[in-house]
Amino acid sequence: MSNTGEKNTSHEQLDYKKAIALQTYEYFEGGPDQKTAIANFIDKKSKNLDLKYPSLESGVIDRFVSVLHQEVATTPDAIATSEYRLAEAYFLQAARRINRKERVHSQEVIDNFQLLNEAIYGKPDEVVVNQMLTQIWDRLDTVKSPAAATILEQLKSGYALSFGDGESVPIPVLPRPEVSSDNRESLPILEDETIEWLKDSVSKRYGVAQEIFNKYFNENETPEGVDACHIAELFESAIAEMGLDVAVIQREDVSALSWSSADQAVIVGLDRKPIKTPEELFGLFVHEVGVHGVRSTLGSSTGVDALGVGLFTEADSGEDPSYLTFEEGLASTLQLASQGKKESWNVAGMGLYLTVAFAHMGWSPRQIQEVMSNVRIALGASEADVVISEEKVNKAQVAAATHVRRIFRGTPAGEELKTSDGVTLHYAKDLAYAAGKVKAIEYLNNLSKLNESERERMFDILLSAKYDPTNTVQAKIVESVQANGRVEE
């Protein structure tokens, strides 16, 4: 059965295997007041996004540092997973310090927080940002709805947003990059042949889950969709039927559905929204279980711990030292391909990356919220709209706020702290989704051109561990472990 549980914060139970499975976002989950704070932010009852992170005060964070320190010197030289997780543990300590209200933070402390954030999670690529903005403006320029005229003008010219206390916030223009060949280059998409192959290959591997989900939807009236409790039950049924060594854990006050390598489990947040179709549910299953879960369990079975929790290594020029970016891109791409879809690079797919980019430009959470809400509203307006419905406006604002919360979680977002270079403090981990999709789509398109037996063999290897196959060092490590059962020095 699935179970309801909290994160393990016991010092006695924190061993090395749990330590190298550290996920920083688990400590940025909001407290019981988060729903109200986000609702007030969306409704403009509050100018600022005020978030609290009770888990940051857990003593286990210091224990992570201690355990990982002891292990750094004992791992093979080629693998840097312990060092990376240690850096993330230090980042959690930095987040704890900077969120404590009783102290005034020096500019040095603020700058160091952002330096650590960028060192671990990276920063936006200017070329990718400009490509995304160019694509958005290309679409905005085709909007003919008279109801969107005011919003379009605001995106072009900016405006001042007033609050009840007489204070106003300057809302900037949506940047329009200069025309160039780089900016006009389209972001990659899956080729039709690749989608056909992937849909078939994923169905062969996880078709049992697909059948269970289809059967449930056919036999039950679900006008409002499947709620979190039933999602957990259906995932558990599929996992059991497939004989996978994966647990399902339900958590209160959490809205996400995510993977935990430390628990070898899918975490189902009981606050998540319902899922309306079996295709959508199957896509999520492929993402969380079929990619994150299977790569974790198969990687762990090799006896090389890092292959189960995520491989970090040196990287050649143009490569990524972390498994994470590729894996998130792979999971998101297969989630769509399993439904016969391809990445359309809409606002939903680009929003997290652009939210980080705007934070890099020094924008506040409120400024990003207003601009990205307006982008969504304008693109969602039809030519027949006389006015834009309240439902469309609310949907756009909630979607934008979801991204804003994710990018500013872990920081004192309400204070809008800025570095010496003018960067607003944020959490850059979610850059991995869009950046990873670029890498994964290009890799899978190339894979699909191989003959059938070879591409299936390569696809099996791709799912055998948590690594980035486009990183030369990581590809060699996985090849060595599969051939010899160990990492060759």
Give yes or no for a contact between 266 and 247, defined as CB atoms under 8 angstroms apart: yes
> Is residue 468 classed as helix, strand or coil in its secondary structure?
coil
Q: Which of 101, 121, 141 marks a domain boundary? A: 121
The CA distances from residue 328 to 14, 259, 305, 472, in Å, are 26, 11, 19, 19
User: Within a domain: residue 187?
Assistant: no
Give yes or no for a contact between 124 and 431, defined as CB atoms under 8 angstroms apart: yes
User: Within a domain: residue 417?
Assistant: no
User: Within a domain: residue 462?
Assistant: yes
Same domain, 332 and 454: yes
User: Within a domain: residue 171?
Assistant: no
* pLDDT of 9: 42
Alpha carbon distance 302, 24 (integer Å): 25
Which residue from 319, 323, 303, 320 is spatially nearest to 311, judged by alpha carbons? 323
> Is residue 14 classed as helix, strand or coil in its secondary structure?
coil
Which residue from 358, 345, 338 is spatially nearest to 423, judged by alpha carbons? 358
Same domain, 335 and 235: yes
Same domain, 199 and 52: no
Same domain, 201 and 296: yes
Q: Which of 106, 121, 136 marks a domain boundary? A: 121
Same domain, 466 and 338: yes
User: Within a domain: residue 154?
Assistant: no
User: Within a domain: residue 313?
Assistant: yes
Q: Which of 121, 151, 177 marks a domain boundary? A: 121
User: Within a domain: residue 314?
Assistant: yes
Give yes or no for a contact between 326 and 475, defined as CB atoms under 8 angstroms apart: no
* pLDDT of 11: 39
* pLDDT of 218: 94
The residues, any chain, with a CB within 8 Å of residue 124's CB and separated by 6 or more, are 353, 356, 357, 360, 431
Q: pTM for this one?
A: 0.91
Same domain, 111 and 247: no
Alpha carbon distance 426, 441 (integer Å): 27
The residues, any chain, with a CB within 8 Å of residue 88's CB and separated by 6 or more, are 22, 24, 120
Alpha carbon distance 221, 341 (integer Å): 26
Alpha carbon distance 121, 7 (integer Å): 23
* pLDDT of 8: 44
Q: Residue 295 is part of which domain span?
A: 192-342+450-484
Same domain, 321 and 201: yes
Average pLDDT of adjacent 10-residue blocks, the chain of 489 residues: 49 75 91 90 95 93 93 78 95 96 88 96 95 96 95 98 90 93 83 96 96 96 92 97 95 87 93 94 97 96 94 91 96 96 93 98 98 97 91 97 97 96 97 96 97 96 97 95 80
User: Within a domain: residue 438?
Assistant: no
Alpha carbon distance 85, 103 (integer Å): 27
Q: Quote the number of domains for the chain.
A: 2
Give yes or no for a contact between 433 and 354, defined as CB atoms under 8 angstroms apart: no
